[in-house]
């Protein structure tokens, strides 16, 4: 079955081909949905089968990955390496199935499948139904290439592909003004990160002569000194590549300072926000860091940077989430914040924990986005929480599933988020106390703003218009069933990664991922040898903090308080509230500097082109016209002038000589006489001389 | 002061020039024809002078022929004049400028 | 009287030369062609005298006969035929007269220069060849005839033909249509 691995990324592309090209606008919605969801569902099943087959295989027993090469994609030939030697550079189209990619494969296909099903209901009345599913399938194919690729270039192809689909899907409603703008913003900000990513790839290729994971990481593992010598800018090769790749991750996973695209990406359809901007695409950066953990282990400075940025982003986004009124924006900033947690974990060396949180987050954040979609659908398109309230009575299924997600993200024990977040904090506690503190505070804030969202939306009295009230209804099963499935996942997914408490080691997940996160050299990640007591104490502390956050939220928004509580806080800290509400004015800063700068230079260059370049071209026109004028002038006056001169002279002379022909014979005789006299004269002169 | 050949030649030259000026100048064809006779006469004088100088009768023979030719030419010339007069009722050369242009 | 005798030929020369030149000038400068014709006759007669001074007796007579008696009469006839004496109003000289005068002056200057600078030797006072045939003294006419009809017979005949042609031509030209 694992031989059929190549079908997993291929099937969604087949869906694209069918829905987008061959059967475009020729089939009813039912068939479109069938093709789209069917291909993803099949991918999921085949993927699970492949994983099972792999786990039963001998390679798995020896901690070897399963590699499947389809064909030689780029046989480039001789590449000069940075040390002067030559390597035969080639890139295959191949897939790698190991524990890490297996986890990613399952998360992507499973969550993706249920979001596809959800979309059938959500996008049912949209005229772009077929186009939507074409893009969604295209995204799935690209994401699967990303996670299954066996070399950095296939990963990059998928990386770019999901970026493209993100742009297509954010700006899905092209008839509006904002969505296409948001799509462009996302793509451009991503591109900045991608530039750094590419530089990292170049460095890798020119050092190792290949981009294949096993070759690169294998060579590093056997001789870490390969990447520890000084390379450029005072960094070792490992540090430089780690930094460059991380820049790409910052763009793709919306970390500071390239986070600005994700909140605006909420302009796309809600299932898109769920799939791409919660569960899968944004996690590609985390996956990439985990995949390259060998490099990050050998670049401690950069790893610290990763952790710091992750922590700052987590705190920063959480504070903004407290003051947002759009339900999707709150979830967006929440995503940014949780991604920060993942990078914090990766930065302190807990790569497996980062992936764990990635998986649990995919479930509960995906769930909550879909839930918010259900709410928005019921509210007839309204996304402002100030107009909601009391919806738990009208949307019970939505409410209960949303509650599960909220409890999970808040880190309440028993739910998935608790286990993953707790492990992050535990990993940070050892050696990075300050970061641990930041993470803890953020956890409290997370619980606070998430429950604020819950209370504002589902509790209290309805604050919307009468028309909206009459429209309220629970969503159809095609929407609610995925909610339930994901809610189950939000609970269950945590149980496979229980922390190690002394002898009680049920961390199946962590062990599962161990072969991939093998320590390199003597840079072993500090095994969490926290004592049981300390571990439990930390757990309790995080629960207390979460409870504190929930309490604050309930005090402000809970019950029948409605918006009054929030308003009191806003009045007490008006400046702070304004800064939070306006996202610390980061977008405004970027707009004033980068955006306007780029526009100004574009205009300047355009003027250069129009005036100097075109001016030169037009100038050459003038030169040509002038030259041709001169030439014509020369021809007309000099050349023709000479010709005319000859004619004129002839005329004048003939005029002159004509006067000789007087017709008077005497005068002819005179001429003869003159001639005769002249001859005589010459005779005389000659006689005189002689 | 012996009159030598030189004197005769100078005289001949003077008569020749006078006659030539008359041909070139006068508008009346009759006078032109008379001037031609004058010129031919001066030539005769020249011939006689040289004949005497060299004691050779040939000069005189030549002069006879010259006179004969002059006579014939005068006859024809006057014939032309008569014809011209019949055509133009004038003998002015200026008015016989058919060759003009 | 001695002076006259001594310089007789010279004086005669100058006398007839002056007459000839004066008459020639009159020929070309008189308005009435009749008068010009008379002046021309005077010139011819002077020329005859000058011929005589150079021992060309036969030629002098021929000159008088042919020129004076033939050509001048012809001229006078034609003048009277065309009634030229009536044409009095218009100009005598053509517009080119200054140029002609200049040309004439230059020519006489050249001729004069050449002639005066040519050293002719003295001539025989009374050449025998003019009046003798084979040593026998005969007279100018016979001498001329002897030469004319023997040495120069062909030219003589040709001149006769020429005169015939001229005569026919003149008759044809002057014929009334």
Note the pLDDT tens digit of each residue in B74-90: 999 999 998 888 888 87
User: Does the beta-carbon distance from A674 to C96 stay under 8 Å?
Assistant: no
Does residue A556 sit in helix, strand or coil?
helix
Say if residues B82 and B59 touch (Cβ distance below 8 Å). no
* Measured distance CA(A665)–CA(A646) in Å, rounded: 31
Q: Is the pLDDT of residue A531 over 80?
A: no
Residue A434 makes CB contacts below 8 A (sequence gap 6+) with none
- pLDDT of res. C36: 92
Residue A598 binned pLDDT confidence (cut-offs 50, 70, 90):
confident
Chain B, nearest residue to C93 by Cα: B26
Identify which of A662, A666, A673 has the shortest CB distance to residue B100.
A662
Among A663, A670, A675, A685, the strongest candidate for a mutation testing the C interface, having the largest count of C CBs within 10 A, is: A670
The predicted model scores a pTM of 0.64
Q: How many CB atoms lie within 10 A of CB A618?
A: 12
Closest CA to B27 of C93, C86, C37: C93
Give the chains touching B; criterion: ≥3 Cβ pairs < 8 Å: A, C
Closest CA to A135 of A338, A126, A332: A126
Give mean pLDDT, residues A46-57.
88
Per-residue model confidence as pLDDT tens digits over A53-76: 888 888 777 777 888 888 888 888
Closest CA to A89 of A80, A98, A99, A100: A80
- Measured between its terminal Cα atoms, the distance across chain C in Å is 63
Chain B, nearest residue to A667 by Cα: B24
Give the chains touching C; criterion: ≥3 Cβ pairs < 8 Å: A, B
User: Does the beta-carbon distance from C84 to B18 stay under 8 Å?
Assistant: no
- pLDDT of res. B98: 78
Give mean pLDDT, residues A319-330.
88
Per-residue model confidence as pLDDT tens digits over A23-39: 888 888 888 888 889 99
Closest CA to A85 of A201, A208, A203, A200: A208
> How far is the CA of A116 from the CAs of A9, A13, A29, A133, A140, in angstroms?
16, 15, 13, 8, 10
> Is B91 domain-assigned?
yes
Chain B, nearest residue to C168 by Cα: B76
User: Does the beta-carbon distance from C24 to B85 stay under 8 Å?
Assistant: no
- pLDDT of res. A523: 41
Distance from CA of A654 to the nearest CA of C (A): 21
Please report the residues numbered 623 through 662 in chain A whose beta carbons come closer than 8 angstroms to any beta carbon of chain B: 658, 661-662
Q: Is the pLDDT of residue A681 over 70?
A: yes
- Of A421-435, A567-581, C98-112, the least confident: A567-581
User: Does the beta-carbon distance from A669 to B100 stay under 8 Å?
Assistant: no
> Is B101 domain-assigned?
no
- Output the CA torsion sign for A661, A665, A671, A675: positive
Most confident among A205-209, A632-636, B49-53 (mean pLDDT) = B49-53
Chain A, nearest residue to C99 by Cα: A670
Q: Is the pLDDT of residue A505 over 60?
A: no
Beta strands in A426-511 (DSSP E): none
Please confirm whether the linkage preceding A681 is cis (ω < 30° from 0): no
User: Does the beta-carbon distance from B27 to A666 stay under 8 Å?
Assistant: yes
* Measured distance CA(A357)–CA(A335) in Å, rounded: 12
* Measured distance CA(A338)–CA(A177) in Å, rounded: 30
Per-residue model confidence as pLDDT tens digits over A452-466: 888 888 887 787 777
For residue B18, the domain's CATH number is 1.10.287.3510
- pLDDT of res. A521: 42
Q: Is the pLDDT of residue A138 over 80?
A: yes
Please report the residues numbered 57 through 86 in chain B whose beta carbons come closer than 8 angstroms to any beta carbon of chain A: none
Q: Is the pLDDT of residue A204 over 70?
A: yes
- pLDDT of res. A378: 84
User: Does the beta-carbon distance from B94 to A669 stay under 8 Å?
Assistant: no
Please report the residues numbered 647 through 666 in chain A whose beta carbons come closer than 8 angstroms to any beta carbon of chain C: 664, 666
Give mean pLDDT, residues A11-20.
90
User: Does the beta-carbon distance from A663 to B100 stay under 8 Å?
Assistant: yes
Identify which of C103, C111, C113 has the shortest CB distance to residue A670.
C103
Give mean pLDDT, residues A562-583.
72
Residues of B within 8 A of C56 (CB-CB) are 48, 51-52, 60, 63
* Measured distance CA(C50)–CA(C57) in Å, rounded: 10
Q: Which residues of A438-448 are buried (b: 16+ CB within 10 A; e: fewer)?
A: bbbbbbbbbbb
> Is B39 domain-assigned?
yes
- pLDDT of res. A113: 92
Please report the residues numbered 41 through 100 in chain B whose beta carbons come closer than 8 angstroms to any beta carbon of chain C: 41, 44-45, 48-49, 51-58, 60-61, 63-65, 67-76, 78-83, 85-86, 90-94
Which tokens go with A389?
Answer: 């309230």
Residue A582 makes CB contacts below 8 A (sequence gap 6+) with A588
Residues of B within 8 A of C55 (CB-CB) are 52
- pLDDT of res. A676: 93
Could you tell me the residue range of the domain that residue B17 belongs to? Answer: 5-96
- pLDDT of res. B47: 95
Identify which of A662, A663, A669 has the shortest CB distance to residue B24.
A669
User: Does the beta-carbon distance from A677 to C100 stay under 8 Å?
Assistant: no
Per-residue model confidence as pLDDT tens digits over A600-620: 888 888 888 777 777 788 888
Q: Is the pLDDT of residue A506 over 80?
A: no
User: Does the beta-carbon distance from A666 to B24 stay under 8 Å?
Assistant: yes
Per-residue model confidence as pLDDT tens digits over A114-125: 999 999 988 888
In total, how many domains does chain B have? 1
Which tokens go with A350?
Answer: 């807990």
Per-residue model confidence as pLDDT tens digits over A354-389: 888 898 899 989 999 999 998 888 888 888 888 888
Chain A, nearest residue to C95 by Cα: A667
Where is pLDDT greater, at A562 or A108?
Answer: A108
Q: Does A174 touch chain C (CB under 8 A)?
A: no
Share of chain B above pLDDT 70, in %: 98
Residues of C within 8 A of B76 (CB-CB) are 166, 169-170, 173
Identify which of A658, A664, A670 has the shortest CB distance to residue B94.
A664
Give mean pLDDT, residues A344-359.
88
* Measured distance CA(A310)–CA(A254) in Å, rounded: 10
User: Does the beta-carbon distance from C37 to B91 stay under 8 Å?
Assistant: no
Give me the interface pTM, i.e. the ipTM. Answer: 0.91
User: Does the beta-carbon distance from A666 to B32 stay under 8 Å?
Assistant: yes
Per-residue model confidence as pLDDT tens digits over B26-45: 988 899 999 999 999 999 99
Distance from CA of B79 to the nearest CA of A (A): 17
- pLDDT of res. A500: 56
Residue A195 binned pLDDT confidence (cut-offs 50, 70, 90):
very high
Q: What is the dihedral of CA B71, B76, B82, B84, to 10 degrees?
A: -130
Q: Is the pLDDT of residue A689 over 50?
A: yes
Residues of B within 8 A of C123 (CB-CB) are 4-5, 52-55
Distance from CA of A658 to the nearest CA of B (A): 6
Residue B3 makes CB contacts below 8 A (sequence gap 6+) with C9, C10, C13, C14, C53
- Note down pLDDT in tens along chain C; length 177 residues: 677 777 778 888 999 999 999 999 999 998 888 899 999 999 999 999 999 999 899 999 999 999 999 999 999 999 888 875 555 667 778 788 899 999 999 999 999 998 988 888 887 777 777 887 777 788 888 889 998 999 899 999 999 999 999 999 988 888 876
Among C11, C42, C54, the strongest candidate for a mutation testing the B interface, having the largest count of B CBs within 10 A, is: C54
Say if residues A430 and A421 touch (Cβ distance below 8 Å). no
Among C107, C109, C111, C112, the strongest candidate for a mutation testing the A interface, having the largest count of A CBs within 10 A, is: C107
Closest CA to A284 of A411, A410, A443, A101: A101
Distance from CA of B50 to the nearest CA of A (A): 20
Give mean pLDDT, residues A166-189.
90
- pLDDT of res. B1: 60
Per the prediction, chain A carries an average pLDDT of 84
Where is pLDDT greater, at A401 or C82?
Answer: A401
User: Does the beta-carbon distance from B26 to C28 stay under 8 Å?
Assistant: yes
Share of chain A above pLDDT 70, in %: 93
Residue A560 binned pLDDT confidence (cut-offs 50, 70, 90):
low
Among B18, B24, B28, B91, the strongest candidate for a mutation testing the A interface, having the largest count of A CBs within 10 A, is: B24
Residue A142 binned pLDDT confidence (cut-offs 50, 70, 90):
very high
Distance from CA of B101 to the nearest CA of C (A): 17
Q: Is the pLDDT of residue A168 over 80?
A: yes
Share of chain B above pLDDT 90, in %: 62
- pLDDT of res. A84: 76
> Is B25 domain-assigned?
yes
Q: Is the pLDDT of residue A233 over 80?
A: no
Residue A524 binned pLDDT confidence (cut-offs 50, 70, 90):
very low
Q: Does B2 touch chain A (CB under 8 A)?
A: no
Which tokens go with A541?
Answer: 């502390």
> Is B67 domain-assigned?
yes
């Amino acid at each position: 079955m694992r031989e059929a691995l190549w079908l997993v990324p291929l099937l969604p592309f087949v869906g694209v081909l069918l829905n987008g090209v061959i059967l475009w606008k020729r089939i009813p919605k039912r068939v479109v949905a069938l093709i789209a969801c069917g291909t993803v569902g099949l991918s999921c099943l085949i993927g699970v089968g492949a994983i099972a087959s792999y786990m039963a295989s001998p390679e798995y027993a020896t901690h070897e990955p399963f590699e499947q090469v389809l064909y030689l994609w780029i046989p480039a030939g001789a590449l000069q390496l940075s040390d002067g030697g030559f390597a035969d550079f080639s890139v295959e189209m191949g897939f790698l199935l190991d524990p890490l990619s297996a986890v990613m494969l399952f998360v992507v296909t499973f969550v993706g499948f249920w979001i596809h099903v959800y979309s059938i209901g959500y996008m049912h009345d949209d005229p772009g139904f077929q186009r939507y599913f074409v893009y969604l399938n295209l995204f799935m194919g690209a994401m699967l290439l990303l996670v299954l690729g066996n070399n950095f270039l296939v990963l990059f192809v998928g990386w770019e592909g999901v970026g493209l689909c993100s742009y297509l899907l954010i700006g899905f409603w092209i008839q509006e003004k904002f969505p296409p703008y948001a799509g462009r913003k996302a793509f451009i900000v991503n591109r900045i990160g991608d530039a750094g990513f590419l530089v990292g790839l170049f460095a890798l290729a020119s050092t190792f002569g290949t981009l294949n994971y096993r070759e690169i990481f294998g060579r590093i593992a056997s001789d870490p000194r390969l990447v520890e010598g000084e390379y450029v800018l005072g960094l070792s090769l490992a540090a430089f590549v780690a930094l460059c790749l991380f820049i790409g991750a910052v763009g793709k996973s919306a970390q500071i300072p390239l986070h600005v695209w994700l909140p605006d990406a909420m302009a796309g359809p809600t299932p898109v926000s769920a799939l791409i901007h919660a569960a899968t695409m944004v996690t590609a950066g985390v996956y990439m860091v985990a995949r390259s953990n060998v490099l990050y282990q050998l670049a401690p400075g950069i790893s610290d940077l990763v952790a710091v940025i992750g922590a700052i982003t987590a705190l920063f986004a959480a504070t903004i989430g407290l003051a947002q009124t759009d339900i999707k924006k709150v979830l967006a900033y929440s995503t940014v914040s949780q991604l920060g947690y993942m990078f914090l974990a990766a930065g302190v060396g807990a790569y497996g924990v980062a992936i764990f949180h990635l998986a649990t987050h995919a479930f509960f954040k995906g769930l909550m986005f879909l839930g918010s979609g259900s709410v928005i659908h019921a509210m007839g398109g309204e996304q402002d929480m100030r107009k909601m309230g009391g919806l738990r009575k009208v949307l019970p299924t939505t409410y209960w599933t949303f509650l599960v997600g909220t409890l999970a993200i808040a880190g309440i024990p028993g739910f998935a988020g608790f286990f993953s977040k707790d492990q992050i904090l535990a990993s940070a506690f050892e050696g990075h106390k300050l970061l641990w503190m930041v993470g803890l505070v953020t956890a409290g804030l997370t619980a606070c703003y998430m429950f604020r969202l819950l209370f504002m939306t589902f509790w209290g009295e309805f604050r919307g218009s009468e028309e909206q009230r009459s429209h309220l209804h629970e969503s159809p099963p095609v929407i609610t069933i995925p909610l339930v499935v994901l809610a189950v996942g939000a609970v269950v997914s945590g149980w496979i990664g229980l922390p190690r408490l002394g002898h009680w080691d049920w961390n199946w997940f962590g062990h599962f991922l161990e072969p991939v996160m093998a320590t390199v050299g003597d840079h072993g990640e500090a095994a969490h040898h926290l004592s049981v007591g300390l571990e439990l104490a930390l757990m309790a502390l995080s629960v207390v903090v979460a409870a504190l956050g929930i309490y604050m939220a309930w005090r402000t928004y809970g019950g029948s308080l409605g918006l009054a509580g929030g308003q009191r806080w806003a009045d007490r800290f008006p400046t702070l509230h304004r800064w939070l509400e306006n996202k610390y004015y980061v977008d405004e800063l970027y707009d004033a500097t980068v955006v306007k700068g780029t526009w100004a230079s574009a205009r300047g260059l355009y003027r250069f082109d129009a005036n100097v370049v075109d001016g030169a071209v037009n100038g050459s026109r003038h030169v040509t016209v002038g030259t041709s004028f001169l030439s014509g002038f020369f021809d007309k006056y000099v050349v023709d002038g000479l010709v005319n001169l000859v004619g004129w002279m002839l005329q004048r002379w003939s005029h002159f000589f004509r006067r000789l022909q007087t017709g008077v014979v005497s005068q002819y005789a005179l001429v003869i006489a003159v001639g005769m006299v002249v001859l005589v004269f010459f005779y005389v002169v000659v006689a005189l001389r002689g | 002061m012996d009159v030598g050949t030189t004197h005769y030649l100078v005289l001949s030259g003077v008569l020749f020039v006078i006659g030539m000026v008359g041909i070139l100048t006068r508008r009346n064809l009759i006078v032109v024809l008379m001037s031609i006779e004058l010129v031919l006469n001066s030539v005769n004088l020249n011939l006689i002078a040289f004949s005497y100088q060299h004691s050779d009768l040939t000069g005189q023979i030549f002069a006879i022929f010259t006179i004969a030719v002059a006579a014939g030419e005068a006859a024809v010339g006057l014939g032309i004049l008569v014809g011209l007069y019949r055509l133009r009722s004038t003998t002015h050369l200026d008015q016989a400028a058919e060759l003009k242009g | 009287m001695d002076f006259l005798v001594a310089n007789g030929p010279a004086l005669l020369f100058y006398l007839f030369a002056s007459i000839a030149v004066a008459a020639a000038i009159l020929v070309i400068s008189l308005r009435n062609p009749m008068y010009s014709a008379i002046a021309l006759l005077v010139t011819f007669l002077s020329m005859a005298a000058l011929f005589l001074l150079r021992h060309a007796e036969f030629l002098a007579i021929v000159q008088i006969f042919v020129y004076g008696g033939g050509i001048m009469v012809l001229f006078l006839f034609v003048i009277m035929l065309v009634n030229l004496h009536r044409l009095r109003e218009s100009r005598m000289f053509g517009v080119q007269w200054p140029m002609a005068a200049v040309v004439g002056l230059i020519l006489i200057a050249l001729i004069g220069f050449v002639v005066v600078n040519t050293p002719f030797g003295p001539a025989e006072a009374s050449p025998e060849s003019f009046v003798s045939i084979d040593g026998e003294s005969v007279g100018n006419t016979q001498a001329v005839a002897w030469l004319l009809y023997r040495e120069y017979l062909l030219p003589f005949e040709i001149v006769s033909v020429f005169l015939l042609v001229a005569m026919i031509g003149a008759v044809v030209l002057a014929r009334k249509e």
